[in-house]
Amino acid sequence: MSALVSETDSPAPPHDLASRVLYRDNLLLVLDKPSGLAVHPGPSGGDHLESYLAALRFGYKEIPAPVHRLDRDTAGCLALGRNRRALRRLGRLFERRLVEKTYWAVVAGRPADDAGTVDLPLAKRSDRRDGWRMVVDPTGRAAATDYRLRGRGDGLAWLELRPRTGRTHQVRVHCAALGCPILGDPVYGSGGPRLHLLARALVLPLHDNRPPISVVAPTPDHMAVALAACAGDAGVHRS
């Protein structure tokens, strides 16, 4: 897309995306991506964030671009570079695993231990009947996720997850491997109306001689009730 495209050339977003910007400086935007909106166009088409990025230029000539990806149904922190220089710098941080990512999930059941690490390699598999998915495979790419239990309710648990690697569907597959798939997961769990997974926070050491940038996303409404049930505190979604 041309760097000279005007903000009015972008279609109207289904959400007020400008109001969902959690952080902004000359290099970086962090967006609270809504659940249900894909980041990139998929093979079957459908709505996606890239259609609306010109609306997030905030006066810049270049259109911001995502540095990483979130699944369509995952809400929360998504980093975007505001120009080519920013994209290169941010890309190096993600490639070197210098960005700290934290997820919150509400899962069915609970892990055997209150904290630990899932260290299981993942590989992509596909067939005509079920399409594609990620599976645990000893010949796959290394994948590790640290987790800890933050609360539990009636048949549910609230997990905080910190992936050490960035494999596709990593957090979702690793939760299922623990025996507690994420609530609402149609691929690795029993499905449901909404996926209860939030990209809660990012910490990015982007600027030299300055503290890392720390950004936190609010809990989406569809997760609030389940989180409150796990925490025994109706105000948990505001923390």
Of the two residues 60 and 234, the one the predictor is more confident about is 60
Q: Do residues 128 and 202 both lie within one domain? A: yes
- CB atoms near residue 5 (< 10 Å): 15
What CA–CA distance (Å, rounded) separates 100 from 211? 14
- Structure confidence by residue, pLDDT tens digits, 46-100: 789 999 999 999 999 999 999 999 999 999 999 999 999 999 999 999 999 999 9
Q: What percent of the chain has pLDDT over 70?
A: 89
Contacts of 130 (CB under 8 A, 6+ apart): none
Model confidence at 11, pLDDT cuts 50, 70, 90, reads low
What CA–CA distance (Å, rounded) separates 213 from 210? 9
Which domain range does residue 219 map to?
98-239
- Structure confidence by residue, pLDDT tens digits, 117-132: 999 999 999 887 778 8
Residue with tokens 């006066």: 59
Model confidence at 191, pLDDT cuts 50, 70, 90, reads confident
pLDDT at residue 235 is higher than 60: no
Q: Single out the residue in 56, 78, 96 at which a domain terminates.
A: 96
- Structure confidence by residue, pLDDT tens digits, 152-184: 999 999 999 999 999 999 999 999 999 999 999
Q: Do residues 172 and 211 both lie within one domain? A: yes
The residues that bridge with 203 in the sheet, in sequence order, are 100, 214
- The question of whether 137 is a catalytic residue gets the answer no
What CA–CA distance (Å, rounded) separates 67 from 89? 10
User: Which residue among the candidates 25, 47, 71, 73 is catalytic per the annotation?
Assistant: 71
Q: Do residues 189 and 151 both lie within one domain? A: yes
Dig out the tokens for 55 from the structure: 């609306």
